[in-house]
Structure formats: structure tokens, C-alpha cells
Amino acid sequence: MLPVSQAEKIILSLVQPLSEIETVDLTLATGRILARSISSQVDFPHWDNSAMDGYAVKFSDVRSSTPKHPITLEVVEEIPAGYQPQREIQSGEAARIFTGAIVPAGADTIVMQEHTQRVQKTFVKIQITPTAKSFIRQRGEYAKVGDPLLAAGTVLNPAEIAILAATGCSEVKVYRRPRVAILSTGDELVTPDRALKPGQIVDSNQYALAAFVQQAGGIPICLGIIPDDRSKLTAAMSEAIDSADLVLSTGGVSVGDYDYVEEILAELGGDIRVRAVAIKPGKPLTVAKFKRDTRSIVYFGLPGNPVSALVSCWRFVQPAMAKLAGLPKSNWQPTWIEAMTSQNLTADGKRETYLWGKLELVEGRYQFSLAGGNHSSANLINLAGTNALVMIPVDVSSIEAGTSIRVLII
């Protein structure tokens, strides 16, 4: 049995990041991963502009202005946003200006509207001593033309989408999404629309894994239920390997008489690198690497129990998906948070143990509470509403309430 950290290392070493690139419309790029770095096409801001509604003035004209002795200037132009100023401000002059509008030549300071008083139509009184250069956003202050804005491997969230739009990209080059084949093995499995006969259960894994793959940025290819039949399983696994970058099958990886997955992986030419991991739940994890022409495929034979299958995904498939998808190394690890356990925790101490529950911020500190009910790997019901897994290391069999613990965000 491999320790968890070693299994994770091996798995990551088997994954080759996808290099194929596709161009997508910016409106459809949310959550995608940038394939080419982007540098600025323009200066940000594009020109010196006003940060306030007010008056553009020469500081030298108003440096001695005070509320008691305001200086009066002639208003020679009105400059709304989107308007190109037509004249240079001369000594004794001001321009009415609005937020975002171009600061006219000759002006070097903006006085807020609230500190002015308009006199008739053509004059304004400056009722404070302004600070030189105040309320001007300088051209190129945020970024200059040619400055790097976004690195390849960046996930496109709303902020990055805004930056791309602002620098003139209406389309963007992203890595193609990983294609992930999903198959469920087991004679006992049926689809959710079928009435259960004795001994049958619904193939919930197919749906759980498809949801997981979508959340991880992949495209699920659902290949359905495959009975515990050697030739049918061989055909389905072969199809999966041919059609995907990653394969997730559940069931058939234990030591039972009908557990054929490992044998078939070997027959199909897979290099089996993980056979079992010292983790609970999820010990019977099989991972193999395939080569098909120039493609490389990683096959995960996950345990059939619904919680085991999902925990294996969160702990091992997630990092593999992150690397495959083109994320930088710093993003491959699951997200860990240090929290305080609100209950005593117990484990057998032999395997790295994961228990599911809820992470909440309580008085400024993260607190983890176990899900109620039975913590069996067959019980998917009490996974509802959970958002984290607490990790109990090997050789630790009890942790007292109030102790600091590591929690994996799911």
C-alpha cells in the first residue's frame, strides 16, 4: 500500500498537460485556462483623466486659494467623459470636468465640485487650498503598453475577463478542456429511472463523477453501466481509453471474484503504477498509464463505494485534472485549510483517514464539524451539505476537540 503523498506524486508524474489550444469568444471563456500570456495593448489609464466631478485648473493659479479668500477662475470649457478637450487651459482659466473625462492640456489639478461655487455661468470660486496634481489618474499609472497582464495558465474569472476585454481581446486562446470518460462497473447497477429489483442499486457514481469532472473544468463522457463481464468490460475500457484524456471507472478494483479491472488494464497494455493506497476511505485505487499514438491517457480505477469514489476524486483526481488542464504547478494541490475541530476525532491510525463535514468561520476562526450519521464509505446520504474533509494522519488515532487540524476543501 502506497502512502497518500507517494501515490499523489506518482499520479502527478503520469499526467502530461494538454497542449492543444482553442479560441473562444470572451463571453464563453469564464473558468477556462489561458493558453498564451497577454500583455497590454494600451496604457491604463489611456490618458490623464479626472477621478472626480469638478474643475480642472492650474495649481499655480489656486495655491493660495482658501475658504475665506477663494480665487475665482473663468470656466472656458465643459469636458464630459468621452469628449476630447478643444483648448489648452491658460492662467486664470478652469474647465468643468466629469469623472473619467480627459484632463485638458495646461491643467494639472482637479478640484472637487464640492469645494467650488459656480458664479454666474462663466466663473467658479475655488473654496479650498487644493493639493497639487490631486484627483488626476495619470496615463499609464496602472499599466503601460507592453506590460504583462496575464500569464499563461491563469484561470479566467470575472476580473481576468474584464482585463482581457479592456485590452481589446474579444476572443481568447485557452487550453482545450480535458475529456474524461466515466464508466460504472457492476452487475447490481441500474440507471435512476428504473425500479429497483432485489439486490440492485442505482448507479449514483456516474452522476457524481460527471458533476465532479464538470466542476474540475473537464468534459465528462458518460459511458454508462458495464456489467461484471470480462469481454464487455474489456470493450468498454478500451473504448474509454481511445476516446478520452483521463478515464474514471468505479467498482471492480477490490479483491473479489468479479473484480476484473486491474487484469484488464494489464491486458490492454496499461502500465499499472498504483494498486492500493493507505487511505480511508478509498484504499483499492488503481492507476495506470496508457500510450496511444502520441496521446497519453491516465486511467483511474476507483473504488465502487460512493463516498470512496468521491474522496478518491477530491484527493487524487483533482490534482491530476489540474495538471492536465494546464494550470501551473502551484495550483495542482487540493486546497488545504487549517481549522479547529469542534469534536473529538478517531481513526484506526493505520491509514490516512478522511472524514467529511462542515467547515465554518466561527468568531474569526475556521471550525470543522463532522457530518452527523454513519461515516461508512457506502453512506452517501450524510455527504449532503458537507464542504470539507478532515485529514487524520497515519499513526494518529485520536484528536481532541479544540485541536488544530488540516482540512481539505471539497
Q: Which residues bind ligand AMP (CB under 6 A)?
A: 184, 186, 188-189, 201, 203-206, 250-254, 256, 303-306, 378
Q: Which is nearer to Mg ion, 145 or 201 (CB)?
A: 201
Residues 306, 276: Cα–Cα separation, whole Å? 17
Phi, psi of 323 (to 5 degrees): -70, -45
Position with the least CB separation from Mg ion: 251
Q: Which stretch binds Mg ion (CB under 5 A): 146-154, 186-194, 340-348, 384-392?
A: 186-194
Residue type at 9 in one-letter notation: K
End-to-end CA distance of the chain: 25
> If contact means CB under 5 to 8 A according to the sort of partner, which of Mg ion, ligand AMP, none does residue 266 touch?
none
Q: Which is nearer to ligand AMP, 94 or 247 (CB)?
A: 247
- Please report, for residues 146, 163, 188, the alpha-carbon distance to residue 18 in angstroms, rounded to integers and kept in the order given: 28, 25, 36
Minimum separation from the CB atom of position 313 to ligand AMP (A): 13
> If contact means CB under 5 to 8 A according to the sort of partner, which of Mg ion, ligand AMP, none does residue 146 touch?
none
- In angstroms, how far apart are the furthest CA atoms of the chain? 97
Q: Which is nearer to Mg ion, 104 or 186 (CB)?
A: 186
Radius of gyration for the alpha carbons in the chain, expressed in angstroms and rounded: 31
Instruction: Determine the angle formed by the axes of helices 4-14 and 318-325, rounding to 10 degrees.
Output: 30
C-alpha cell at 130: 487644493
Minimum separation from the CB atom of position 214 to ligand AMP (A): 17
Site string for Mg ion, 51-90 (x = CB under 5 A): ----------------------------------------
Minimum separation from the CB atom of position 188 to ligand AMP (A): 5
> If contact means CB under 5 to 8 A according to the sort of partner, which of ligand AMP, Mg ion, none does residue 160 touch?
none
Q: Which is nearer to ligand AMP, 306 or 326 (CB)?
A: 306
Task: Please spell the DSSP secondary structure of 332-347, one letter per residue.
Answer: TSPPEEEEEESS-EE-
Phi, psi of 158 (to 5 degrees): -50, -40
> If contact means CB under 5 to 8 A according to the sort of partner, which of ligand AMP, Mg ion, none does residue 250 touch?
ligand AMP
Pairing mode, strands 219-226 and 179-185: parallel
Q: Is 186 in the site for Mg ion (CB under 5 A)?
A: yes
Q: Is 270 in the site for Mg ion (CB under 5 A)?
A: no
Q: What is the 3-state secondary structure (H, E, C) of 215-255?
A: HCCCEEEEEEEECCCHHHHHHHHHHHHHHCCEEEEECCCCC
Does residue 198 have a cis peptide bond before it, meaning omega lies within 30 degrees of 0? Answer: no
Pairing mode, strands 352-362 and 279-280: parallel
Position with the least CB separation from ligand AMP: 304
Q: Which is nearer to Mg ion, 281 or 304 (CB)?
A: 304
Q: How far is CA 52 from the centre of its chain?
A: 35
Q: Which stretch binds Mg ion (CB under 5 A): 62-70, 159-167, 183-191, 396-404?
A: 183-191
> If contact means CB under 5 to 8 A according to the sort of partner, which of Mg ion, ligand AMP, none does residue 306 touch?
ligand AMP
Q: Which stretch binds Mg ion (CB under 5 A): 8-16, 74-82, 173-181, 299-307?
A: 299-307
> If contact means CB under 5 to 8 A according to the sort of partner, which of Mg ion, ligand AMP, none does residue 204 touch?
ligand AMP
Q: Which of 54, 217, 220, 251 binds Mg ion (CB under 5 A)?
A: 251
- 279 by DSSP, 3-state: which? strand
CB 208 within 8 A of CB 384: no
Q: Which is nearer to ligand AMP, 201 or 211 (CB)?
A: 201
C-alpha cell at 260: 476484473
Residues binding Mg ion (CB under 5 A): 186, 251-252, 304
